[in-house]
Amino acid sequence: MEYRQLGHSGLRVPVLSLGTGTFGGTNAFFKTWGETDVKEASRLIDISLDNGLNFFDTANVYSGGDAERILGAALEGRRDKAIIATKSTFTTGPDVNDSGSSRFHILREVESSLKKLKTDYLDLYIMHGFDSRTPLHETLSTLDQLVKSGKVRYIGASNFTGWQLMKSLSVSEKLGLEKYVIHQAYYSLIGRDFEWDLMPVGQDQQIGTMVWSPLGWGRLTGKIRRGQPLPEGRIKSGGAAGGPEIDNELLYNVVDVLTEISKETNKTVSQIALNWLLQRPTVSNIVIGARNEDQLRENLGAVDWKLSVEQIERLEKVSAQTPRYPYWVGAR
């Protein structure tokens, strides 16, 4: 397993982390992702650790908190072997303060996550989204306090725009507070908007990227093909709900080239899509999901080899999209 720095920090992490969106499945939305229980989660973690993957990504809202509980139970007795990332910001209940990045909400959710995960510290704590209602200095000073207390080791952001991330870094620098070291973002061969804004910020500010949904909501597994009906599984059962709309022709063209390269490399379509991401600037880590052992082992096969320069060029050509304004200005 290859390890990389977590952005501009001293922490080294495996290039793959195991996402826990499939853990629990205790509400309608997350049920389409998976229904992994503690026993199954323990087995996935066994396989991960045996392959050098010791980084586990979760969030307080996954399956209403059950994903954190399952991860905590599955890691019991081996917390020292794991790097844990969790998140807060999104809504956790009906009350007016049950969402956001206020001091009130962050401190309450950190304590809740620590309890569910059965640990006294979090390796990485991520703001799941940007909260425009809370002053940045309130959010960042609270996170700084958590780092100084030892309850959190590093902090990150997720789903920010470029200006939101840049402004957050500027406020931290101005006030002498802990800075975000990582930004968790959607990025895939069929979703390259990340390159227009967030990638340049990451390169300029040395912010690493943790990629989520690297297979484009499961569309880049090779199961969706031109002229064929959707196979049984997550996508057909509604698992792509909430994801961006994808032009079918773009998807089919990308899958065609992935399939060609699959034959050349004897790697699967998924492995090639993941390996392409590992060659991209700023990427520190890719969050992979797995509903079962077979999916996990397949995803683990995306590391320890590299696509050729020519293969990368083919993938980038077929997946290229015209940037929106103002990014196309001066880019031609």
Answer yes or no: are the C-beta atoms of 271 and 299 closer than 8 Å.
yes
Torsion angles phi and psi, residue 330, rounded to 5? 80, 0
What does the pLDDT look like over 129-144, one tens digit per residue? 999 999 999 999 999 9
Going from N- to C-terminal start, the domains of the chain cover 3-319
**Rounded average pLDDT over 308-329:** 94
Residue-averaged pLDDT of the chain: 93
Beta bridge partners of 184: 158, 210
Q: Which two tokens stand for residue 33?
A: 């992702």
**The one catalytic residue among 3, 62, 186, 325:** 62
pLDDT at residue 227 in the model? 77
Helix intervals (H) in the chain: 28-31, 38-50, 66-74, 103-117, 136-149, 162-175, 198-205, 248-265, 269-278, 293-300, 309-319
| Residues comprising the chain, all counted | 332
Average confidence (pLDDT) over 146-175: 98
C-alpha 114/C-alpha 91 separation (Å) is 18
CA dist 221 and 225 (Å) reads: 10
Worst-scoring range by mean pLDDT, 29-33, 176-180, 276-280?
Answer: 29-33
Angle between helices 66-74 and 38-50 (to 10 degrees): 60
Q: Considering only 17-31, 82-96, 164-178, 197-211, which range has the smallest mean pLDDT?
A: 17-31
Cβ–Cβ < 8 Å for 209, 311:
no
For 119, the token pair is 């640990």
Residue 330 scores a pLDDT above 80: no
Say whether pLDDT at 23 is over 50. yes
pLDDT confidence of residue 32 = 65
pLDDT digits (tens, 9 = 90+) for 247-256: 889 999 999 9
Task: Dump pLDDT digits (tens) for 199-229.
Answer: 999 999 999 999 999 999 889 998 888 877 7
Q: Active-site residue 62, yes or no?
A: yes
pLDDT tens across 67-122, in order?
Answer: 999 999 999 999 999 999 999 999 999 999 999 999 999 999 999 999 999 999 99
Q: What is the pLDDT of residue 240?
A: 56
- Answer whether 278's CB lies under 8 Å from 286's CB: yes
Query: Which long-range contacts (C-beta less than 8 Å, at least 24 apart) are formed by 38-42?
Result: 38/70, 38/73, 38/74, 40/292, 41/70, 41/71, 41/73, 41/74, 42/74
264: CB partners within 8 A, 6+ apart? 311
Residue 33 has pLDDT above 70, yes or no: no
Bond into 231 cis (ω within 30): no
Fold category of 3-319 in CATH: TIM Barrel (3.20.20)
Q: What distance in Å separates the CA atoms of residue 200 and residue 194, rounded to the nearest whole number?
A: 9
Whether residue 235 has pLDDT greater than 60: no
Q: Which of 109, 29, 35 lies closest to 67 in space, CA to CA?
A: 35
Strands 55-57 and 122-127: unpaired
Q: Which of the 8 DSSP states describes residue 323?
A: P
Q: What percent of the chain has pLDDT over 90?
A: 83
